[in-house]
Amino acid sequence: MAIADDKSLLQLFADVMSEEQWRELEGKGKGAQIYTLRVVVGLMLLQRMNDRGSQQVVVEQMAAGKWDGWLPDCKRVREGKISLNTGAYARACGRTSLEVVEKVCDQFLAELGQRIEPDPELKIPLFLLDGSSLQLEHAPGLLEDFPPGHNQHGEGHWGIVKWVTLHDLQTGIALRPAWDAMYGPKAVSEQQLAAQVLRRAPAGSVIVADSNFGVFYFAYLVVQNHHQALFRLTKERAHALGARELLPTGERRIVWRPSPYERRKHPELPEDAQIEGRLIAVTRPGLRETLYLFTTLQDPLEKIVALYAQRWNLEVDLRTLKGTMRLQHLRGKSTEAVEKELLIAVVAYGLVRAFMALAAQRAGLHPRRLSFTRAYSLSNLMIGELCAARSEQREQAYDRLLDFIGQSKLPKRSKPRTYPREVWGGGKYYPRRGSPSKNAQSK
């Protein structure tokens, strides 16, 4: 991993995009105002970086002069007469379209990727693919677009959104995700969403995914998009491709063709659709069951298995996004508000991961050896100084931040845990309603 100029990330954080790009997205302005497009997007980002994450917090901090380096040169800023009320900021957030936030997200994440070069051992970009679900508020418009789930006890209370994302193996920086309804008549599969995010990966990337994506149709899409595939297969699918002959450990070259069922499900597949690759079976101590893999890579078997073993990093990344970045339950009351909240969270997450990558380079460590929670906490603590008006103050704070993050190493256990990992409860539960008659009688 190498950076041509490690101060460029500080400049990227200060600008997000160039002045020309901001003017192009904003269009014709309404004269001097505080809440320009750049300020609104910046405050949304700072709001997500804050551990409280409320509009009131960032507006009060702006009025106190904490974000002077981001604010435009207008009369109210010069005179220090910025209102503490959040109404103007809330209306400005509502005026900012989802299309604009998507463009900012893509541009910012692309800039992050250009500033952090891949590890020389990997040679080509390697992305981890997986999906998850998020809870939404119980609002009429949201429930129409993202219906709640249901079970034997009835329909749930919170709307549910399904999303799929690609994360860089080395740094954890994510690309813009794809999302849609998880339940209801318009529900989509993870493979459908994954087809959208594939188009955002750099050409020639390696896509690593679990058995949910290890089907012919998706593997064919990966190859058609000029990527390399490394997927886990289910036992049944692997045996249908001839994996029985490879047990306990072995590999062979195969030509994977669609089954009759896949032909019926995806009639758009061409008659000559096929994928040339390797089928791998691995049985060894430490694995609970035989591992079946399909890949188009030409690397040795041991390296292929080692690469797939790193897919677990994405499980940790998703837990971090939903927990530390507070994405488990989105607070927006409309579909567009929820989608903008999700995109801004991915940008904020990518920024912290970029700080970690640079700090790791300075400390001579791998970025995955650093604690995201501590890096996020330190960024939240020092972000006001990174937005200071004076460049000397910003650069000094930036150097201190990277030094502090570089000291935030995860513990390296010499022995496995002597006790099982605690399972944390997840989700947001709606309290049961008491009987009105009994409540009235008690009074």
The tens digit of pLDDT for each residue in 389-419 reads 788 888 899 999 999 999 999 987 666 656 5
- 134, containing H or E segment: strand 126-136
pLDDT band, residue 269 (cuts 50/70/90): very high
Distance CA 224, CA 261 (A): 21
Residue 339 clears pLDDT 90, i.e. is over it: yes
How many CA atoms within 13 Å lie on the side-chain side of 265? 11
pLDDT band, residue 112 (cuts 50/70/90): confident
| Cis omega (within 30 of 0) for bond into 248 | yes
Q: Quick one: pLDDT at residue 180?
A: 96
Q: Which segment, 69-83, 289-303, 381-395, is predicted with the most confidence on average?
A: 289-303
Select from 30, 23, 178, 40 the least CA-distant residue to 101: 40
Distance CA 382, CA 228 (A): 40
Select from 12, 10, 36 the least CA-distant residue to 25: 36
Q: Quick one: pLDDT at residue 50?
A: 85
Distance CA 311, CA 291 (A): 13
Higher pLDDT, 193 or 51: 193
pLDDT band, residue 345 (cuts 50/70/90): very high
Q: Quick one: pLDDT at residue 428?
A: 55
Task: Retrieve residue 164's tokens.
Answer: 């799929």
Select from 225, 156, 215, 171 the least CA-distant residue to 195: 225
The stretch 372-380 carries a mean pLDDT of 93
pLDDT band, residue 425 (cuts 50/70/90): low
Cα of 223 vs its chain's centroid, Å: 23
Residue 61 clears pLDDT 90, i.e. is over it: no
Q: Quick one: pLDDT at residue 215?
A: 95
Q: Quick one: pLDDT at residue 420?
A: 57
Task: Retrieve residue 112's tokens.
Answer: 């992050």
Select from 332, 284, 295, 272 the least CA-distant residue to 135: 332
Residue 279 clears pLDDT 80, i.e. is over it: yes
Find tokens 């992050």 and name the residue.
112
Average model confidence (pLDDT) across the chain: 86
All residues at 6 or more sequence positions from 405 whose CB lies less than 8 Å from its CB, including other chains: 355, 356, 359, 370, 374, 375, 378, 379
The stretch 350-365 carries a mean pLDDT of 91
Per the CB < 8 A criterion, the answer to whether 163 and 196 are in contact is: no
> pLDDT per residue over 174-184, tens digit each?
999 999 999 99
Q: Quick one: pLDDT at residue 203?
A: 86
Distance CA 345, CA 335 (A): 16
Residue 212 clears pLDDT 80, i.e. is over it: yes
Neighbour-count burial for 309-339, b at 16+ CB within 10 Å, e otherwise: eebebbeebbebbbebbbbbebebeebebbb
Lowest mean pLDDT among 19-23, 143-147, 295-299: 19-23
The stretch 62-85 carries a mean pLDDT of 83
Residue 216 clears pLDDT 50, i.e. is over it: yes
Higher pLDDT, 128 or 24: 128
Torsions phi, psi for 107 (to 5 deg):
-65, -45
DSSP state of 431: P
The stretch 34-43 carries a mean pLDDT of 88
3-class state of residue 369 by DSSP: helix
Residue 1 clears pLDDT 50, i.e. is over it: no
* Angle subtended at Cα 335 by Cα 333 and Cα 340, rounded to the nearest 5 degrees: 95
Q: Quick one: pLDDT at residue 217?
A: 95
Per the CB < 8 A criterion, the answer to whether 153 and 124 are in contact is: no
Distance CA 315, CA 209 (A): 11
Higher pLDDT, 396 or 75: 396
Task: Retrieve residue 184's tokens.
Answer: 């209801």
Q: Quick one: pLDDT at residue 415?
A: 66
Q: Quick one: pLDDT at residue 441?
A: 47
Lowest mean pLDDT among 106-115, 131-140, 206-215, 355-364: 106-115
Residue 275 clears pLDDT 50, i.e. is over it: yes
Helices (H), 190-311: 190-198, 216-224, 235-240, 260-265, 301-309
Per the CB < 8 A criterion, the answer to whether 43 and 339 are in contact is: no
> pLDDT per residue over 314-323, tens digit each?
999 999 999 8
Select from 17, 40, 169 the least CA-distant residue to 95: 40
Distance CA 112, CA 204 (A): 18
Residue 204 clears pLDDT 80, i.e. is over it: yes
pLDDT band, residue 64 (cuts 50/70/90): confident
* Angle subtended at Cα 166 by Cα 161 and Cα 171, rounded to the nearest 5 degrees: 125
Residue 68 clears pLDDT 80, i.e. is over it: no
State how far the alpha carbon of 24 is from the alpha carbons of 19, 57, 100, 111, in Å.
Answer: 9, 29, 10, 18
Q: Where are the domains of the chain?
A: 8-98+333-406, 211-310
Distance CA 131, CA 434 (A): 37
Share of the chain above pLDDT 90, in %: 57
Select from 353, 341, 352, 367 the least CA-distant residue to 119: 367
Per the CB < 8 A criterion, the answer to whether 348 and 48 are in contact is: yes
The beta-carbon contacts of 408-414 under 8 Å, at least 24 apart in sequence, are 408/370, 408/371, 408/374, 408/375, 408/378, 409/365, 409/369, 409/370, 409/371, 410/369, 410/370, 410/371, 412/369
Residue 439 clears pLDDT 60, i.e. is over it: no
